[in-house]
Amino acid sequence: MPAVNNVLVVGSGLAGAATAIHLASRGVAVDLLEIKPDVAALGSGITLQGNALRELRTLGVWEQVAAAGYAFDVTGIRAPDPHGSVLAEIPDAKTGGPDLPAAMGMPRPELARILCDRATEVGVKLRHGTTFTELTQDDDGVDVTFSDHSTHRYDLVVGADGLRSWTRRALGINLETRSIGMGIWRAFGPRPASVTRTDLYYGGPSFIAGYCPTGEDSLYAYIVEPAQDRSALSPAEQLATMRQLSEAYHGPWDEIRETLTDPSRVNYTWFETHVLDEPWNRGRVVLIGDAAHTCPPTIAQGGAMALEDAVVLAELLTERTVLDQDLWDAFHARRYARAKTVVDASNTLAQWQLDHVQGDAPALFRQIAELTSQPA
Ligand SMILES: Cc1cc2nc3c(=O)[nH]c(=O)nc-3n(C[C@H](O)[C@H](O)[C@H](O)COP(=O)(O)OP(=O)(O)OC[C@H]3O[C@@H](n4cnc5c(N)ncnc54)[C@H](O)[C@@H]3O)c2cc1C
């Protein structure tokens, strides 16, 4: 018998959906709560590294992911010069194993849809447009009050509700989330034939300009600048700003720029970071994914770390028979240092750019690749 019989998972992002799928596949009754009214129709793209793909395969969605995404095994480094000259072509580490691509671009809404469909297929009760208003726990369970005033008692609550986690707040945990000083413009649009992998342009007027193919017909492009308050800009002005910043970048960027015409596909956000000291649980409520640790996407590992938290937690909950301190110790031993190392490395890479310091980026990437090549 598993250590838990019924679980509430708050948040249907990568961490929450993966936890729910794994638990329900192994016979646990799971309610998955999502505050958004539906799976988003619009969104940006995400780069999934090999170790994220390995975990998606364990969820039984690899074929759908492979069909919807765009795989590549090399990252290009280009110069911010008039030709977008290729400076290097770096083979990406196959951190998910030799039988998986090194990386894959995916439209975020497509990935969310695949995971929600899989969750429903394995028996998860997915409730959109709902949240909780109160959590009260004792030694044997957690009583949850929902926003529709209904109540239910669970053996465990998993807070997978992202960066500004309500669950974390409900536990009374004060965690400082800090801006690291960078902001990112992202646009989702059509893929020119010249874009077949991620290329990164370091330098020029912005810190980084890049793009990632997310399917035969789509890509997302991004430009990282010093963080500033862009909230007063109208959508049309946001689009114009991103286009203007992109004018310093050439090669495939010349074609991408021409497709930047839809203000609703442009988004601006700051890079933020935090790591919650272990333990990530308070009694029978545990935080995972961005709710516990978040990093700038300089290594594109946030999604992978969220998936790994989910897989490890679900494995321990279903392979053990008691939810005790031993289980939590095993969870933290497998997750805390690994996630913190990834966050620290991501922050270091960002800081080198902010300080215009030439750090040993290849060594840092190698260190993270070696770590993430080991199963979580
Ligand atoms: C600009 C940017 C680019 C990034 N690029 C990449 C990348 O290329 N590759 C990568 O691996 N990572 C990337 N990341 C990081 C990655 O997006 C996150 O690490 C990952 O999505 C975390 O997943 P999660 O499930 O923990 O949280 P989330 O994806 O934030 O999911 C949380 C879910 O909980 C829901 N929720 C919130 N509050 C409540 C509530 N009260 N009740 C119910 N539901 C609630 C939300 O609606 C959401 O669906 C990027 C991050 C940023 C900011």
For residue 294, report the distance from its CA to the centre of ligand 1, in Å.
9
Distance, in Å, from the CA atom of 369 to the CA atom of 303, rounded to the nearest integer, reads 15
Per-residue pLDDT reduced to its tens digit, 116-166:
999 999 999 999 999 999 999 999 999 999 999 999 999 999 999 999 999
The token pair that represents 299 in the structure block: 């290594």
What residue segments make up the domains of the chain, in order of their start? 6-66+108-176+274-373
Per-residue pLDDT reduced to its tens digit, 173-198:
999 999 999 999 999 999 999 999 99
For residue 160, report the distance from its CA to the centre of ligand 1, in Å.
9
> Residue 41 above 80 pLDDT?
no
Query: Would you say 63 and 71 are in contact if contact means Cβ atoms under 8 Å apart?
Result: no
Q: Which residues surround ligand 1 with Cβ inside 6 Å?
A: 10-16, 33-36, 46-47, 52, 131, 160-163, 166, 184, 269, 289-290, 294, 297, 300-304, 306
Q: Which residues pair with 47 in a beta bridge?
A: 105
For the segment(s) 6-66+108-176+274-373, the CATH number from 3.30.1490.20, 3.50.50.60, 3.40.50.720, 2.40.50.100 is 3.50.50.60
Of 19, 33, 35, 230, best ligand 1 pocket probe by most atoms within 8 Å of the beta carbon: 35
Query: Would you say 246 and 201 are in contact if contact means Cβ atoms under 8 Å apart?
Result: no
SS3 call for 338: helix
Please tell me the residue having the least CA distance from ligand 1 atom 21: 303
For residue 290, report the distance from its CA to the centre of ligand 1, in Å.
6
Distance, in Å, from the CA atom of 38 to the CA atom of 147, rounded to the nearest integer, reads 16
Percent of the chain beyond pLDDT 90? 98
Please, how many CA atoms are within 13 Å of residue 25, restricted to the half-sphere of its CB?
A: 16
* Inter-helix orientation angle 361-373/50-58, to 10°: 20
For residue 45, report the distance from its CA to the centre of ligand 1, in Å.
12
> Residue 42 above 80 pLDDT?
no
Write down the H helix ranges in 92-200: 108-121, 166-170
Of 36, 290, 312, 342, best ligand 1 pocket probe by most atoms within 8 Å of the beta carbon: 290
Q: Which of 166, 229, 204, 237 has its CA nearest to residue 79?
A: 204
pLDDT score for 43: 83
- DSSP structural state of residue 277: P
> Residue 15 above 90 pLDDT?
yes
> Residue 87 above 80 pLDDT?
yes
For residue 13, report the distance from its CA to the centre of ligand 1, in Å.
6
What's the helix, strand, coil split of the chain in %, to 5?
A: 35, 30, 35
Percent of the chain beyond pLDDT 70? 100
For 301-373, list the strands marked E by DSSP.
none
pLDDT, the chain, mean: 97
Looking up tokens 């649980």, which residue turns up? 281
Per-residue pLDDT reduced to its tens digit, 219-275:
999 999 999 999 999 999 999 999 999 999 999 999 999 999 999 999 999 999 999
Query: Would you say 372 and 51 are in contact if contact means Cβ atoms under 8 Å apart?
Result: yes
Please tell me the residue having the least CA distance from ligand 1 atom 19: 302
> Residue 350 above 90 pLDDT?
yes
Residue 17 alpha carbon, nearest atom of ligand 1? 25
